[in-house]
Amino acid sequence: MKVLLVDDEKEMVAALAERLSLRDIDAEWVTCGKDAIALLGENHFDVLVLDVKMPGMGGLETMEELQKIKPESKIIFLTGHGSTSDREACEKAGASSYLMKPVDIEVLIEELKEAAKS
Amino acid sequence: MSLIKDIKPAFWDESKPTDGSHIRLFNYAGVWKYAVLGALAIALLPLIIMLLINHYEYKKAMKEKMSGSIVCFVSNTQRTLGSRISERKAILSYIANDSRLNEFPDPDGLAEILSDLKSTFGEFVDLSLIDPKGNRKVHAGPNHLRNKADRDEVWYREAYGRGIYISDIFLGFNGFPYFVIAVKGENDQGNSLVLRASLKADWLEEMIHSLEMEPTFDPFIVNKKGVLQTTSRSYGKVFESLPLPLSTDSHNSQIRSLKDHSGNPIVLSSAVIEGSPFRFVTVAPLKALTGGWFSVSNRFVVLVIASMIGVLIVTVAVVTHLVNRIFEADRRRVTVLHNIQYTNKMATMGRLSAGVAHEINNPLAIINEKAGLLKDLITMEKNLPHEKTVELVDSILSSIKRCSAITHSLLGFAKHIDVQYQQIDLERVINEVLLFVGREAEYRSISIDIKVQEDLTSIESDVGQLEQVFLNIINNAFEAVDEFGQIDIELFSEEPEFISVRVVDDGHGISEENLKHIFDPFFSTKGEKGAGLGLSITYGIVEKLGGKLDVESEKGEGSRFTVTLPVKIDA
């Protein structure tokens, strides 16, 4: 499975990518929405994991742009604060799921597999 | 003294606030004094004026009444005396023109006439006939008065010239008072003669003193030269010179107020006794005239004074009560504001907590992944490079440091409930506050610039309250700006002994209308969301710290909030 992690917190996203790799999941990471869109143009990812709150292009906006390019993209949202309104907006936009940070790696992998299947 | 303590109202000693704030409190004692003085002046002034006018008018009326009385008395007495003297003149005139005197000189004839005269008018003592040369031709009656009057030659010239002469009163050898009446007559032969009579004068004094008059009146007779002809009660014995000034012209009764030789104020009325050299005078002390004032007007004065006391008591009571109410209301307001501040602080902390949670969550996420990775590496990899391990652990440690900075700030914020003054570096406080909003600034791409004037001193203030103030203002700035907004924070000193912190944003600004009410409690432009207390409490805190808060704003352009604080607190 190939996933793309998008989160502005470099330390976290790099470590997470490495952990996923150790579990035989091909994870790449970028720190902003723009980079994600650029990458999506040339590569295929089974699932994208997006951080909701990012400077510049936020998670939702990135999702919109991504869906323009690849409408069938599967997206999982990660968030640091989890307000209900955010959750609703994300689900309405068509996200596969919505997870709170710090994320349990096992739970994430479960969700990734679920998303990739659907 | 303890009674005064009981009576003294609660607000009297309130000059310094006790809750550590440094604003000038309402000067209750001062306001009380002014209110009482003002009210008393307005209430009592008319009463006092009335009292004075009444006193004056009453005095005037009494004086006029009594003056009228004295003038009346003098006038009547003068007429009575005058008519008495006229009677004696008339009878002498009759005798002088009587044919019986043709047989002059005839001492026996004259003696008979004298005895007839004495049977009706007992005061006649002697009679003489004087020729034009002044020689006495005939005399009837005792001789002891002869020499006395003869010495004065002027009298017979006057008698011959004017037809009548009345002498001043003089003392006879026996010590009794007498006076002389001389009239001119003509006998059948056409010869002029003067008939001279001596009369006892004591009836004059008796008559004067038997008259019905005010007990304080002092009646007496003086001659043209001001020599007393009868004894005055206060102004001399008979034949002494009257020590009072008399005008010599007027024949009518006149009245004058003056001061006598001892300085006592008196009223003097006098009138010439017609056809005589005498002037009847009555003197009365002025105090006596107006003495009745106190007794009659007493009730009025007592009433007015009672009213004044009543007004005084009521005014003081009402003003004290009102000022007390203001004082208590102020006290309650301070308490309420204090409570609101606390509540607001808690609410602010509530608002913060979301931001804080997020702030802490990110480092936690990092720790989560790094620790997780470390565990993965330890359990999955056979060869674990030392550097990588150390790197991971270091990363965890620095994330923990990040967290603890945030939690410490929050704790610090929660801790400063009580006011505690200390030397504070404003730049540090601002930076601590910015920690709370740093992440939001990042997400919304809001840039924050801080500019600090060189050599800015520290100020004496309270950290907790300063944090509240700046947090509130900076939060407002954040709410005002859009994405990519700009917030500038300047620290500078414009006036000596004061340091200012200015927060400038390029957000949507405040309209002129709203600007007027921006610091009013319960005024909010956020609709349902805002309680409208933030800025009013902030304003209150700044005031309490001895500073001031200004705002300038243009709708659509942005706002500038300037907090100016004193370097030292005036104790």
Summarised one tens digit per residue, pLDDT across range B185-214 is: 877 777 778 888 888 888 888 888 888 888
> Is A19's CB within 8 Å of B372's CB?
yes
Q: Does A48 touch chain B (CB under 8 A)?
A: no
Phi, psi torsion values for B42, nearest 5 degrees: -70, -40
Which of helix, strand or coil describes residue B161?
helix
Would the pLDDT of B461 be above 50? yes
Of B319, B321, B395, the residue nearest B362 (C-alpha): B395
Say whether pLDDT at B296 is over 60.
no
Contacts of B455 (CB under 8 A, 6+ apart): none
Q: What average pLDDT score do residues B39-49 get?
A: 86
Phi, psi of A71 (to 5 degrees): -60, -25
- With CA atoms as reference, report the closest residue to A105 among A4, A7, A16: A16
Q: Mean pLDDT over all residues of chain A?
A: 87
Give the span between the Cα atoms of B14 and B327, in whole angstroms: 9
Chain B residues whose beta carbon lies within 8 Å of the beta carbon of residue A57? none
Q: What tens digit of pLDDT does each residue of B83-118 get?
A: 998 999 999 888 888 766 665 557 777 888 888 888
What integer is the mean pLDDT of B545-549?
90
Prediction ipTM score = 0.89
Query: Which band of pLDDT confidence, cut at 50, 70 and 90, is reported for residue B4?
Result: low
Shortest distance, CA A103 to any CA of chain B (angstroms):
7
Please name which of B532, B517, B558, B523 lies closest in space to residue B472, comparing C-alpha atoms: B532
> B524, exposed or middle or buried, with CB in 10 Å at 0-12, 13-18, 19+?
middle
pLDDT per residue over B353-383, tens digit each? 766 776 788 889 999 999 999 998 888 877 7
pLDDT at B10: 67
Which of A8, A18, A58 is the closest to B373 by Cβ? A18
Gap between the Cα atoms of A65 and B212, Å rounded: 132
Chains A–B, number of C-beta pairs less than 8 Å apart: 63
Per the document, the length of chain B is 571
* The pLDDT of residue A52 is above 90: no
Secondary structure class of A8 (helix, strand, coil): coil
CB contact under 8 A, A9 and B354: no
Q: Which residues of B touch A (CB under 8 A)?
A: 354, 357-358, 361-362, 364-370, 372-373, 376-377, 380, 392, 395, 399, 442-445
The SS3 assignment for B481 reads coil
**In the predicted structure, residue B395 carries a pLDDT above the cut 80:** yes
Give the pLDDT of residue B22.
46
Q: What is the pLDDT of residues B139-155, one digit of tens each?
A: 888 876 655 555 556 77
Give me the DSSP letters along B183-216.
EEEE-TTS-EEEEEEEEE-HHHHHHHHHS---TT
Cβ–Cβ < 8 Å for B196, B185? no
pLDDT in tens, B253-277: 677 777 777 878 788 888 888 888 8
Residue A32 touches partner B, C-beta closer than 8 Å: no
Residue B501 has pLDDT above 90, yes or no: yes
Query: What pLDDT, on the 0 to 100 scale, is given for residue B331?
Result: 82
Return the pLDDT at A28.
93
**Using the 8-state DSSP alphabet, how is residue B135 labeled?**
-
A15 CA to chain B: closest CA distance, Å? 6
Quick check: A81 and B362 CB within 8 A? Answer: no
CB contact under 8 A, B358 and A55: no
- Mean pLDDT across A35-57: 87
3-state secondary structure of A57: coil
Share of chain A above pLDDT 70, in %: 97
Do residues B57 and B63 touch, judged by C-beta distance below 8 A? Answer: no
User: Contacts of residue A105 in chain B, CB cutoff 8 Å?
Assistant: 372
Report pLDDT for B289. 47
* C-alpha dist (Å) from residue B530 to B344, B430, B479, B519: 12, 24, 12, 13
Q: At residue B563, does pLDDT exceed 90?
A: yes
Residues in contact with A89: Cβ distance below 8 Å, sequence separation at least 6, in sequence order: A60
